[in-house]
Amino acid sequence: MTFPLLSLTVFAPLLGALLLLAIPNKDGERNGLVRVIALGISLVVFALTVAVWAAFDGTSADFQMVERVPWIPAFGIDYHLGIDGISLWLVVLAGFLTPLALLSSWHGVEKKVKEFSFFLLALEAGMIGVFLSLDLFLFYIFWDAMLIPMYFLIGIWGYDQRVYAAVKFILYTMAGSVLMLIAIIGLAVIHAQATGQYSFNLLQLYQLTLDPRTQLWFFLAFALAFAIKVPLFPFHTWLPDAHVQAPTAGSVILAGVLLKMGTYGLIRFAFPLFPDAALQAAPYIGTLAVIGIVYGALVAMVQPDMKKLVAYSSVSHMGVIVLGICAANVQGMQGAIYQMLNHGISTGGLFLIVGMLSDRRHTRQIAEFGGLKHVMPKMVAAFLLITLSSIGMPGLNGFIGEFLSLMGGYRWRPDLAAVAATGVILSAVYMLWMFQRVNYGPLTNPKNKGLHDLEPREWAALGPTLVLAIVMGVVPNFFLAPMAPSVDRLVQRLHAQRPALAEAVPVTTPKPVPASVSLTPEQAAR
Amino acid sequence: MMTDLQAIMPILIVTLTAIVTMVAESFQPRGERVPLGGLGLIGLTGAAVASVLLWGRDLTGFGVMRADNFALFINVTLCAIGVLTILFSTSVVERERIPSGEYFALTLFGISGMMLMAGASDLLVIFLALEVMSLSVYVLTGIRRSSEAGAEAAFKYFLLGAFSSAFFLYGIAFTYGVVGSTRLEQVAATLASQVSGPSVMTILALALLLVGFAFKVSAVPFHMWTPDAYEGAPTLVTGFMSTGVKAAAFAAFIRVFLSAFEPLHAEWAPIVSALAVATMVLGTTVGVAQSNVKRMLAYSSIAHGGYLLVGLIAANSVGKAGMLFYLAAYGVTNVAAFGVMALLSTDDHPHDNVRDFAGLWHRRPALAAAMTVFLLSLGGLPPTAGFVAKWYVFAAAVQEGYYGLAIIGMLTSVISVYFYLRIVVLMYMSEDVAVDPAPRLPRGAVAGLALATLAIFYLGVLPTRVINLAVQSVQGLF
């Protein structure tokens, strides 16, 4: 029995959250202490995620540090965690953004600080759990349970329309995921029919041979759940509401990590579990993604509210990621995963900045600002860097991810990639235009005269995203190398010859196909 | 004789406790209060222990009572429901000036009827059990004699209940006419041996029994009495009957339809499917429109009946065990949710409007948190008992290929989350509107809430033990 590092990483935030609840904090007299402890816990968790990275063997495509304990044996459900190159950086990202989110709400959140920190840490546990689960039942539990803290974060600490946004968020996401639950059960039942035993084990289900019809239905059920989470056009309508109404910390986590669960789900579950259906559906999903890229960009352009603008820019950027996934080749997948990290960092940074401005002025209307460089030059410098990272400026992180995704897309469908590339131009338009209206020009609004520049705490929150934006742009290979083996194997799995399927339709064979377990080449080789 | 008595030991214990409770009340000295609830707790614990000791022995009592694991599982569930009800009741009974001897005795008599119903293997005994249970609950519904709503509810419940009993009795008569016996195993054997398909009489018997059960589990369209009865009854009685009565009725439903009428599964499955769909859809959609929490939970309990019917239709071992798990999870959760409402009520204010929950978090953070757990469990969100329960019955449906039922069930449960969340929204996301501080929570009630919360998380996170017990309960039975 090796040291259960992954379990510790999943449950440390939850334990910390419960610990926080034990601190008596009536009427907020211990808010400062609570904040410090919460930040401490989140830093410990970040250290744990870094430890996971340190222990990770980047040359292997296998799941590592696997923990597997029978949980509900009657149904073949295990407590089953593991990490590979695809989930590695997402776990680190979740660990990285949570302390920043806590820092960002140091002054923004004054009421019920203890509960706020509790929900944020509980959310972190859920997110890390989603990325590490290798059992579909366990995955679904984390996936759905995670909605609860996010719902409270938006609903209690959000802005005016928070209740509407919170309820819309949870119902929308649930409605999508219940169908996935049925498909999950269906998979386990089919596994039982084929082998005599239930299994929710992802690795075993990968090897299941499904007939094309079932595959298509199950794929659609999974894809719908993930498409809503991404959110893919036209399932995106919950996102602007949730983003605009959420407190800064909520937006950072929502954009930074939660949306990635949708794309992660596509990569980890929907595509490899149902490869034929996925490849069949990919052109349609890719088309939706491209529509989302252009549509999100156009809508972002006309937003008067900075937060809403960034929210729609997310719709656009997530489209690029989905396009890379649909391409189902190495560049596309790598680019998608890399872009998931980039988007987490750049959009997280943007929401941090918008939150800082909103803390000062209690408004996020672009028209209320203007000429901020005269009063907040340091903030403007940081803002510029994050903006450039978001629009994919070469030398910064966004460029690498977008370039790889689009290249993968081009190799697959040049037409889609061509339209998607316009999104890159459009994103430069709306981001820079917003940047210009907020920061340049004369300082017209007298209310902006007295604004103070970034304080050390804000630097602490924002600084790491700036550093990473540069580092990830300059040494991408440091991040790409450990994910390469896993991505290679994934792509091989997707394009593996699956002889069973063509003949599975009993045209030539009168006998039913034996409950076969098809092995992909590299598994057969092992 | 000895084994006969052993087989009905849990029921005997509860009945005796009920009698002792009644007698104790009439002998209690003037001005002094005997803790009658405590007696009930002891009796129910004894019954639960007796059930556990009988586990796996599969005794038969007097030829018509089975003490198989199935009945024992339901017995323990009923004891848990009863214990929670009594824990919440002690302060409420006093405050609402409900005659405590009658209240606790009737609750215990009701439970004994329910246990009888879960174990009976003869249609006539099931009918007797049904009446023992129903009569207790009718009276409990109207126990606040000064309350008009209570009287109306009790009257309505009684009339419609009497109708359903008549249907049920007719069904038994027709069954006897066809088979010549009311023993379930006899019925099953005869029906299975009919090679030429079921006769009209058999179908009629089946239909009448189905209507009787559908009334008791308030399946749409036989649910009309439910919202009114639930709203008018004292809050804790509503909690008791929405869980205990449902558990007992479903236990008998399972036993009759999955043993005696199992050979006719192909005949009744489509009808029950239609009932299940109507029940799930109507229960949740109408629930959305309610502003009275008791009515809302009434519709929610109708919808839960629909989910249980899905398990019945699947009729495989997963479905049966799933229903048992569901009844346990739902029973504990729902009683506790009603318990919170009852604890928040005051003399002049019933605390049953959605608005009453506004800002509860600011006043009573722990109570609001507990209520949230109960509501999320009712809505079937992980990591609570309600999630595992729903997953379990829908897994059974998927296994038998009833994808449509599973999908409808899942989507309606999302609708139900909407109205459960309404209360959460008000508790957490609106300002405090309380005019007067809510009453202090008595220790028993706190213990009850803590027990229920622990049970919900236990069943939600570590369900293996209870799942295994449920699986054992249905093994080799039907």
- Could you give the percent of chain B with pLDDT greater than 90? 63
DSSP states of A46-114: HHHHHHHHHH--TT--S-EEEEEEEEEGGGTEEEEEEE-HHHHHHHHHHHHHHHHHHHHTTTT--SSHH
Task: Please say whether the dihedral angle defined by the alpha carbons of residues A200, A130, B328 and A72, taken in this order, is positive or negative.
Answer: positive
**pLDDT for position A210:** 86
Tell me what pLDDT residue B439 has. 67
Strands (E) located in A115-190: none
Cα of A154 vs its chain's centroid, Å: 18
A181 neighbourhood in chain B, CB within 8 Å: 391, 394, 410
Q: How far apart are CA A218 and CA A235, in angstroms?
A: 19
Q: How far apart are CA A322 and CA A292, in angstroms?
A: 10
Q: B64: Cβ–Cβ under 8 A, 6 or more apart, which residues?
A: B120, B121, B122, B124, B125, B183
Count the neighbouring beta carbons within 10 Å of the beta carbon of residue B66. 23
Q: Chain B within 8 Å of A148 (Cβ-Cβ)?
A: yes
Contact B414 A140 (CB under 8 A): no
pLDDT of residue B132: 94
Which amino acid, residue A58? G
Q: Is a pLDDT exceeding 50 seen at residue B196?
A: yes
CB spacing of B382 vs A188 below 8 angstroms: no
**Chain A positions in Cβ-Cβ contact with residue B406 (cut-off 8 Å):** 182, 185
pLDDT per position as a tens digit, B247-303? 999 999 999 998 888 888 888 999 999 999 999 999 999 999 998 999 999 999 999
Report percent pLDDT > 70 for chain B. 97
Select from A144, A146, A171, A181 the residue whose CB has the most chain B CBs within 10 Å, as the one to mutate to test that interface: A181
pLDDT at A196: 87
| Residues B382, A141 contacting (CB under 8 angstroms) | yes
Beta strands in A260-395 (DSSP E): none
pLDDT tens for each residue of chain A, 526 residues long: 578 999 999 999 999 999 988 888 777 778 888 899 999 999 999 999 999 999 999 888 889 899 999 999 888 899 999 999 999 999 999 999 999 999 988 887 878 888 899 999 999 999 999 999 999 999 999 999 999 999 999 988 888 888 899 999 999 899 889 999 999 999 999 999 888 889 999 988 988 888 888 999 999 999 999 999 988 988 999 998 898 889 989 999 999 999 999 999 999 999 999 999 999 999 999 999 999 999 999 999 999 999 999 999 999 999 999 999 999 999 999 999 999 999 999 999 999 999 999 888 888 888 888 888 888 889 999 999 999 999 888 889 889 999 999 999 999 999 999 999 998 889 989 999 999 999 988 888 888 888 888 888 889 999 999 999 999 999 999 999 999 999 999 999 888 866 554 444 444 334 343 333 333 444 434 3
Over residues B196-223, the mean pLDDT reads: 90
Per the CB < 8 Å rule, is A156 touching B417?
A: no
Taking CA atoms, A21 is separated from A8, A114, A118, in Å, by 19, 7, 7
Residues B299/B383, Cβ–Cβ less than 8 Å: no
Q: How far is A300 from chain B (nearest CA, A)?
A: 30
Number of H-type helices and E-type strands within chain A: 23, 2
Q: Which of A137, A152, A178 sits opposite B428 (nearest CB)?
A: A152
**Beta-carbon count within 10 A of B259 CB:** 17
**For the stretch B203-236, what's the b/e string if a residue is b when 16 or more beta carbons lie within 10 angstroms of its beta carbon?**
bbbbbbbbbbbbbbbbbbebbebbbbbbbbbbbb
Please list the residues that pair with B67 across neighbouring strands: B59
Report yes or no: B41 and B124 within 8 Å, Cβ to Cβ. Answer: no
List the 359-418 stretch of A: residues with Cβ below 8 A of B.
Answer: none
Interface check for A73 against chain B (CB to CB < 8 A): the answer is yes
Q: How much is the average pLDDT of B37-50?
A: 93
Chain A CB contacts of B471 under 8 Å are 74
- Give the pLDDT confidence of B16-28 residue by residue, as tens digits: 999 999 998 888 7
The whole-angstrom distance between residue A70's C-alpha and the CA centroid of its chain comes to 28
Residue with tokens 């590490």: A132
Distances (CA, A) of B185 to A157, B10, B128, B171, B373: 61, 23, 18, 17, 42
Among B361, B413, B425, B468, the strongest candidate for a mutation testing the A interface, having the largest count of A CBs within 10 A, is B425
Report yes or no: A82 and A37 within 8 Å, Cβ to Cβ: no
| CB-CB contact of A79 with A121 (8 Å) | no
Residues pairing with A470 in the sheet: none
Residues B349-366 have pLDDT tens digits of 777 788 888 888 888 888
pLDDT at A383: 93
- Alpha carbon of residue B17 to chain centroid: 21
Tokens of A186: 């269906």
A-chain residues near B398 (CB < 8 A): 182, 185-186, 189
Q: Are A9 and A52 spatial neighbours (Cβ–Cβ below 8 Å)?
A: yes
Instruction: Select from B299, B302, B258, B296 the least CA-distant residue to B276.
Output: B302
- What is the least distance, in Å, from the CA of A41 to any CA of chain B? 23
- Is the CB of A357 inside 8 Å of chain B's CB atoms? no
Mutate to test the interface with B, among A72, A130, A171 (most CBs of B within 10 A): A72
Element (H, E) at B60: strand B59-61
What's the angle, vertex CA A249, arms to CA A245 and CA A255, rounded to 5?
Answer: 75
Exposed/middle/buried for residue A462 (C-beta within 10 Å: 0-12, 13-18, 19+): buried
Q: At what angle do helices A330-361 and A456-474 cross, to 10 degrees?
A: 160
Residues B189-199: what's their mean pLDDT? 83
| Mean pLDDT confidence for B78-89 | 94
Contacts of A200 (CB under 8 A, 6+ apart): A75, A76, A77, A78, A135, A136, A137, A138, A184, A187, A188
Contacting residues for B262 by C-beta, under 8 A, at least 6 apart: B188, B192, B315, B478
- Integer Cα distance of A76 and A391 in angstroms: 46
- Is A78 within 8 Å of chain B by CB? no
What average pLDDT does the segment B376-393 reach? Answer: 93
Number of residue pairs across A and B with CB atoms under 8 Å?
Answer: 78
Contact call for residues A82 and A207 (beta carbons, < 8 A): no
Q: Distance between CA B128 and CA B361 in Å, rounded? A: 46
Name the closest residue on chain A to residue B377, using Cα atoms: A145
* 3-state SS assignment for residue A365: strand
The residues, ordered by sequence, that sit 6+ positions from B5 with a Cβ below 8 Å of its Cβ are B12, B61
Could you tell me which residues come within 8 angstroms of residue A205 by beta carbon, excluding any fewer than 6 positions away? Answer: A136, A187, A188, A191, A199, A273
A216 — contact with chain B (CB < 8 Å)? no
Find chain B residues with C-beta within 8 A of A174's C-beta.
414, 417
User: What is the CB neighbour count within 10 angstroms for residue A501?
Assistant: 17
Q: Which residues contact B234 (CB under 8 A, 6 or more apart)?
A: B92, B96, B98, B140, B141, B143, B144, B150, B342
Q: Residue A175 is nearest to which of B411, B421, B464, comparing CB atoms?
A: B411
A174 touches B at CB < 8 Å? yes
C-beta atoms of A163 and B429 within 8 A: yes
Phi/psi at A231 (nearest 5 deg)? -95, 140
pLDDT averaged over chain B?
90
DSSP H or E stretch at residue B65: strand B65-67
Q: Give the β-pairing of A77-83 and B59-61.
A: unpaired
C-alpha to C-alpha distance for A97 and A42, rounded to whole angstroms: 9
User: What's the longest Cα–Cα distance across chain A?
Assistant: 83
Rg of chain B taking only CA atoms, in angstroms: 21
Residues B424, B426, B428: CA angle, nearest 5 degrees: 65
Distance of CA A25 to the CA centre of its chain: 33
Q: What is the pLDDT, as a whole number, of residue B359?
A: 84
Please state, in angstroms and as integers, the Cα–Cα distance from residue A395 to each residue in B284, B292, B398, following that order. Answer: 54, 60, 52
